[in-house]
């Protein structure tokens, strides 16, 4: 069970880093970001999470805000998994979680 919590937390952390990295690169590069190879790689890596966020969010949410929704959902997911992992470690003993 601890492996499941750790793996899920890792996937969420990587997805968050990809989306934040894409945002930072977009701010730095500006309008030419669509031609940037790193931007395209980050967009491919983050697209599954953005698609899930698009499906979960209402149509009122603008398409340009969907990556922010994805970051918020991933952040709440990370918090939930972290709390579940802490709870599990307290149940089985902290020494077994190392």
| Average pLDDT of span 31-38 | 90
Q: What are phi and psi of 61, to 5 degrees?
A: -70, 125
- Read off the pLDDT of residues 44-87 as tens digits, 9 standing for 90 and up: 999 999 999 999 999 999 999 999 999 999 999 999 999 999 99
The rounded distance, in Å, linking the Cα atoms of 41 and 7 is: 22
Taking only Cα atoms into account, the Rg of the chain, rounded to an integer number of angstroms, comes to 16
pTM of the model: 0.89
Does the pLDDT of residue 98 top 90, yes or no? no
């Amino acid at each position: 069970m601890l492996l499941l919590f750790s793996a899920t937390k890792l996937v969420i952390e990587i997805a968050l880093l990809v989306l934040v990295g894409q945002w930072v690169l977009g701010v730095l590069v500006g309008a030419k970001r669509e031609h940037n190879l790193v931007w395209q790689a980050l967009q491919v890596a983050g697209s599954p999470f953005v698609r899930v966020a698009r499906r979960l969010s209402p149509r009122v949410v603008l398409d340009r805000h969907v990556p922010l929704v994805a970051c918020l959902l991933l952040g709440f997911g990370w918090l939930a998994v972290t709390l579940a992992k802490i709870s599990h470690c307290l149940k089985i003993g902290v020494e077994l979680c190392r």
